[in-house]
Amino acid sequence: MTPVMSQNRLAAVITTAREKLPTSEARLLLGHVLQKPLAWLLAHDDEVLDEAGLSAFKTLVTRRAAGEPVAYLLGYREFFGREFLTTPATLIPRPETELLVERVIEKVSLKVGDGETAIKHKSRRILDLGTGTGCIAITLALECPGVLVCAIDASKAALDVAQSNAQRLNANVRFLHSDWYAAVAGETFDVIVSNPPYIAAEDAHLTQGDLRFEPPAALASGADGLDAIRHIIATAPAYLNSAGELWLEHGYDQAEAVRELLDSAGFLHIEQYGDLAGIVRVSGGVCG
């Protein structure tokens, strides 16, 4: 094997990339270039990467080393076991949002028989505010057959991504371009769910890591990060049916403030849930 071919072996290419990136990320990017799964890469690490592939891989490594999120480089992010198209027009789906979805699934589902799940009411209506990639709305539509899901976003570019995801995953979701509740005036829902922007506008985290590349409007919300949450909670009762529920994801340090907002708006049976680290990231309650 010539020296050039030796340098282009997959194992050598990964070793070189490790100077800039963690091995796991380097393998993800190489698998993307080759359209091969991790198991294939590990079993074929003596394969030789052609010049076009090597050039494409080096470009991705350089972009990732400069901070671009892996989800944007790959063009997708896994959420609830499904791949969602993800672009710089959308927030990147995150594990803590799966916690929010799990809680809503529990609320609209009823356990019957030997562990089977039935929907309480086939006509239950769910509104997803600020849908982004559509990961919340689409997952709920697929995991809870029979519910009617409406998803809203103020970004037309984000809605285009969400609609593409719904088509790819064969999910029946109604999408609306709207500033929060504006497009559903006069309608009511059984559940409102949202992963709204909740970072303080001057928070230093906005200039770090993946957040530097994500859409600012999907991240920051006022001086204390609670502007969007305040609006959603205060306005929700007008859009909820009797005993309807509101569920929100929020920041790691906002649990007490969100509970107080829910209580002040007349929500009852307020519940809060922590992530795997025990940090409360999801809050909700029943419309009083």
Instruction: List the CATH number of the domain containing 282.
Output: 3.40.50.150
How confident is the model at residue 4, as a pLDDT? 47
Do residue 95 and residue 147 come from a single domain? yes
Do residue 20 and residue 106 come from a single domain? no
Question: Is residue 81 assigned to a domain?
Answer: no
Do residue 62 and residue 173 come from a single domain? no
CA distance 32 to 13: 14
Question: Is residue 212 assigned to a domain?
Answer: yes
Structure tokens at 224: 């204390």
Task: Name the residue range of residue 41's domain.
Answer: 3-66
Do residue 114 and residue 256 come from a single domain? yes
- pLDDT by residue (tens digit) across 73-110? 999 999 999 999 999 999 999 988 999 999 999 888 76
As a whole number, mean pLDDT of residues 24-43 equals 90
> Whole-model pTM?
0.89
- pLDDT by residue (tens digit) across 239-266? 999 999 999 999 999 999 999 999 999 9
Question: Is residue 120 assigned to a domain?
Answer: yes
Do residue 52 and residue 144 come from a single domain? no
Kindly compute the dihedral angle of the four CA atoms of residues 66, 70, 76, 81, in this order, to the nearest 10 degrees.
-160
Do residue 47 and residue 104 come from a single domain? no
Do residue 118 and residue 8 come from a single domain? no
Question: Is residue 19 assigned to a domain?
Answer: yes
Q: What is the mean pLDDT of the chain?
A: 90
Q: Which residues pair with 175 in a beta bridge?
A: 151
How confident is the model at residue 12, as a pLDDT? 87
CA-nearest of 276, 253, 264, 117 to 285 is: 264
How confident is the model at residue 115, as a pLDDT? 53
CA-nearest of 219, 248, 103, 101 to 257 is: 248
User: What is the distance between the terminal CA atoms of the chain, rounded to a whole angstrom?
Assistant: 74
Give Cβ neighbours of residue 111 (< 8 Å, ≥ 6 apart). Answer: 117
